[in-house]
Structure 1
Amino acid sequence: MTYKAVVIGGGPGGYVAAIRIAQLGGKVAVVEKDKLGGTCLNRGCIPTKSLIAAVDKLKTVEEAAEFGIEVGKPVIDFGKVQARKADVVEKLVGGINFLFKKNKVKLFNGTAKIKAPGVVEVENNGENQELHCENIVIATGSSPALIKSLGYNGTTVITSDEALQLTEVPKSMLIIGAGVIGCEFAHIYGSLGTEITMVEAAPSILALQDKDISRRMQTIFKKKKYSIKTNVTIKKIEEVESGIQAELENGDIINAEKALISIGRTLNIKNIGLEKLGVELGQRGQIVVNDKMQTNIKGIYAIGDVVMKYQLAHVASAQGIVVAENIMGKQSTMDYSAVPSCVFTSPEIASVGMTEQQVKDKGIPVTAGKFNFMANGKALSMGEGEGFVKVVTNSKTDVVLGVHIIGPHASDLIAEATLAVKNGLTAKNLAATIHAHPTLAEAIMEATENVHGISIHG
């Protein structure tokens, strides 16, 4: 049996690619060594959002008195929180299995190795099977990055994988790395009562965000009594009776029950046959692809984290669709001009396009407009007035080059901004669009008005 394509990896890139190939009439197989859904569904996006949903409910109860609703002190049953998370994940994994059957996608459980172009060997419990195909799609994803000197052991020194499986809320946690993953876990466990200390080598937390956003989030975290140490690295971590003891390069000592390593991710590309095939790799070890997601070897494609364009589930899915269309004879290319990214803290953060500094670095004349949620009727009614919308434009053309939001439902609001950046809309285009009242989206309208200094409420 020859397949139109064999997809290695059933994450948000791989399973989407496979389903689209099947929808377009191709016979397709997926090889997955674990559960369908990949990191995103099983150890990333979905389980973290389930835990965040729980702490958001906790916040609602804790703040109920401000709305005139008296309730008793909430009691956290962390076992039930974790059980609900597992249930959500199980339902979504089951959903992908259903979609595979519906679209006649063949699933092989096991570890894949590319023996030659068009030949994939699947090993499962010591038994090997060869799959023959016209095309191969590498969608093997990534795993949490580890620094051996930090003493990772999976119990007191952990990664995000173990942080999602804890059976008890730690009394204290040292978070190494204050990027997206570190900040989301700070929000989760800090909200549950864990004493949080964050150590970041960069000058600020969320260093890739617009500076105004990262500064505001750092201020919010400090108000929550999180200890934040930037511009410093960990020298060593030792196990002690109470958990761990970390020594920083500046000599500071930190004691905590757990240490969470959240310094990024490493690519899952070892032992899948790339070296023998001569697949080109980049300086950071990533698989090099063109805008059609093709490698330098005919009939072999790569998508998702392994190509290191953006390590985001929705980008992997978009790449999967591009791959599927190219395999099935259509001409499709990736466009990274408007990629939204979200941080599910409280308040949420969402961004699309360039930061103000990136625009300046390119020598483009820049004008930014900002509007605070404190002046938005819906936000105040919700008790969520913290944060703002910032719109970055080209001063000469008025085209929106970036939008950065910190505030309530930022991850939902960014969709309008992404559409604007994708289609080259101007600030005046957005400002002239009637937005329903009272809604959070009005903050985007007012921020674009503020680009020209005519915001009514700003």
Structure 2
Amino acid sequence: MNATKHGKRVAIIEDKPTVGGNCTHWGTIPSKALRHSVKQIITFNTNQMFRDIGEPRWFSFPRVLQNAQKVIGKQVKLRTGFYARNRIDLINGRAHFVDNNRIEVRGNKSAETLYFKQAIIATGSRPYMPPDIDFRHHRIYNSDTILNLSHTPRTLIIFGAGVIGSEYASIFSGLGVKVDLINPGSRILSFLDDEISDALSYHLRNNGVLVRHNEEFESVKGDDHGVVLSLKSGKKVRADAFLWAAGRTGNTDNLGLDNIGLEPNGRGQLAVDKHYRTGVENIYAVGDVIGWPSLASAAYDQGRSAASDITHDEYFRFVDDVPTGIYTIPEISSVGKTEEELTQARVPYDVGKAFFKDLARAQITGEAVGMLKILFHRETRQILGIHCFGDQAAEIVHIGQAIMNQEGEANTLDYFINTTFNYPTMAEAYRVAALNGLNRIF
């Protein structure tokens, strides 16, 4: 859309029947819609007020998934309309580079050749699937095929405690499924602030998830009665179903990249420079296919920036200040530095905290689990990092992000102290955390 608004003639080549990509159909939208429905179920089943109108209810996974399908349909309609209104040619088929200025679009019956001045590879990623796992077995799933689950298992093994594994552990435990979460590392989501990671581990365990750290995968076998996961430590774990959630692979195979001199890395990802150009000057790449941060939010901005570079407008930026949004139950979001990073860099920082249990709004909504944490420079009071755990964390973090991006004295703890927040709100957590931090340095 950015390119066509600057006078470029644009074609989208899409190999799926409908637009939207992994974000809309298999990743962000369905998993977050699922999470929202499960969270509503948990609220109904745990809030004493609802007991006056009925007993706790049990919902099956397929039934909960129905709401996600409605959201997916709305997103497809929205995006299809965007292409139509901007007069973008939408061509269904598989793209194959012939050379640096030609693409062959291979359809079901015939092939069409398109000539281009610039191309942007935005093919996304798919779950990494080790060849020694039989993903055709009806009890073995990856993070795409789990959306085809037609029943609710009583027990589930999830291998991989990254973002996807942790989110699905929350979703299934919220539906009453007993979950074993197998983590190859020593800590869940180790890129997070230590305190936030520890809080997530506690709440997963509190909701019945059995977390096993420092475990290496050896094999998984399925039969008509269940699956057995064998670990290199000698442990064997049995469950009704198995979800592999360890890593993703860029969708770069069968694109004819060898015809243009591009070679992806071992995970199918393409290297780009600070302008999203690949090793071929007129061919760009954005989104999951280039690796970090592999977030839909970043992919939007990367795509817009690649078009800005092509059209030479004033809005180009290299996307490197992306907040994390992790939709576990409760959710997590952060932006900026962690305590560990600041300690290693020997930055004199301090911490301000606000616990949700002390906020009137959280007490009213019954969402008292959580915390907002502000990291700031002890001398200048500059905001260095925002870390949030709890209800609406992914929304709350953007207030801190906005202040962090200001210039000079506007980017300090003083902003939160000298600003009047609506009461009661979750945003008030910034004032509480700022005052808490100020008390530490006086």
* Band the TM-score falls in, shorter-chain normalisation: over 0.9
Which letter maps to 1:261? W
- Once superposed, what is the RMSD of the aligned Cα atoms? 1.9
Identify the match of residue 91 of structure 1 among 74, 81, 84. 74
Mapped contact 1:280–1:295 kept (Cα < 8 A): no
- How far does the alpha carbon of each residue in 1:186-211 deviate from its partner, in whole angstroms, 9 at most, with x for none? 11111111110000011111222111
Identify the match of residue 326 of structure 2 among 338, 343, 348. 343
- How far does the alpha carbon of each residue in 1:292-340 deviate from its partner, in whole angstroms, 9 at most, with x for none? 2112322111111111131000101001111111222225543444211
Output aligned runs, 1:359-374, within 5 Å.
359-374=342-357
Identify the match of residue 221 of structure 2 among 238, 243, 251. 238
- Counterpart of 2:64 in structure 1 is 81
Displacement after TM superposition at 1:273 (Å): 2.3
- Counterpart of 1:441 in structure 2 is 427
Q: Does 1:261 align with 2:244?
A: yes
Structure 2 CA distance for partners of 1:249 and 1:109, relative to 1, 3 Å: same
Displacement after TM superposition at 1:150 (Å): 3.8
Output aligned runs, 1:393-412, within 5 Å.
393-412=376-395
Rounded Cα–Cα distance in structure 1 between residues aligned with 2:303 and 2:319? 14
- How far does the alpha carbon of each residue in 1:163-202 deviate from its partner, in whole angstroms, 9 at most, with x for none? 1221111111100011110111111111111110000011
Identify the match of residue 427 of structure 1 among 413, 416, 420. 413
- Counterpart of 2:438 in structure 1 is 452
Mapped contact 2:173–2:208 kept (Cα < 8 A): no
Displacement after TM superposition at 1:281 (Å): 4.8
Rounded Cα–Cα distance in structure 2 between residues aligned with 1:353 and 1:259? 35
Q: Does 1:23 align with 2:9?
A: no
Structure 2 CA distance for partners of 1:454 and 1:392, relative to 1, 3 Å: closer
Displacement after TM superposition at 1:268 (Å): 0.9
Identify the match of residue 302 of structure 2 among 319, 333, 336. 319
Rounded Cα–Cα distance in structure 2 between residues aligned with 1:285 and 1:268? 6
Mapped contact 1:174–1:196 kept (Cα < 8 A): yes
Per mean C-alpha deviation after superposition, the further-off stretch among 414-423 and 351-360 is 414-423
Rounded Cα–Cα distance in structure 2 between residues aligned with 1:409 and 1:371? 14
Identify the match of residue 168 of structure 1 among 151, 155, 159. 151
Displacement after TM superposition at 1:130 (Å): 0.6
Which structure 2 segments of 5+ residues have no match?
A: none
Identify the match of residue 418 of structure 1 among 380, 398, 401. 401
- Counterpart of 1:5 in structure 2 is none
Query: What SS does structure 2 have at the residue aligned with 1:164?
Result: helix
Percent identity, please. 29
Displacement after TM superposition at 1:143 (Å): 0.4
- Counterpart of 2:179 in structure 1 is 196
Rounded Cα–Cα distance in structure 2 between residues aligned with 1:116 and 1:332? 30
Q: Does 1:222 align with 2:205?
A: yes
Output aligned runs, 1:59-138, within 5 Å.
59-66=42-49, 69-76=52-59, 78-138=61-121
Query: What SS does structure 2 have at the residue aligned with 1:39?
Result: helix
Displacement after TM superposition at 1:77 (Å): 5.0
Displacement after TM superposition at 1:41 (Å): 0.4
Displacement after TM superposition at 1:285 (Å): 5.0
Displacement after TM superposition at 1:23 (Å): 2.0
Displacement after TM superposition at 1:432 (Å): 2.1
- How far does the alpha carbon of each residue in 1:11-70 deviate from its partner, in whole angstroms, 9 at most, with x for none? xxxxxxxx1111222210000101311111000111111111211121121123257744
Which letter maps to 2:19? L
Per mean C-alpha deviation after superposition, the further-off stretch among 403-412 and 441-450 is 441-450
Identify the match of residue 363 of structure 2 among 369, 380, 385. 380
- Counterpart of 1:9 in structure 2 is none
* Number of aligned positions between the proteins: 437
Displacement after TM superposition at 1:440 (Å): 0.7
Rounded Cα–Cα distance in structure 2 between residues aligned with 1:282 and 1:393? 38
Query: What SS does structure 2 have at the residue aligned with 1:148?
Result: coil
Q: Does 1:32 align with 2:17?
A: no
Mapped contact 2:275–2:318 kept (Cα < 8 A): no
Rounded Cα–Cα distance in structure 1 between residues aligned with 2:264 and 2:58? 51
Query: What SS does structure 1 have at the residue aligned with 2:228?
Result: strand
Identify the match of residue 123 of structure 2 among 140, 143, 146. 140
- How far does the alpha carbon of each residue in 1:234-275 deviate from its partner, in whole angstroms, 9 at most, with x for none? 222112342101122221211011110111211111221222
Query: What SS does structure 1 have at the residue aligned with 2:118?
Result: strand
- Counterpart of 1:278 in structure 2 is 261
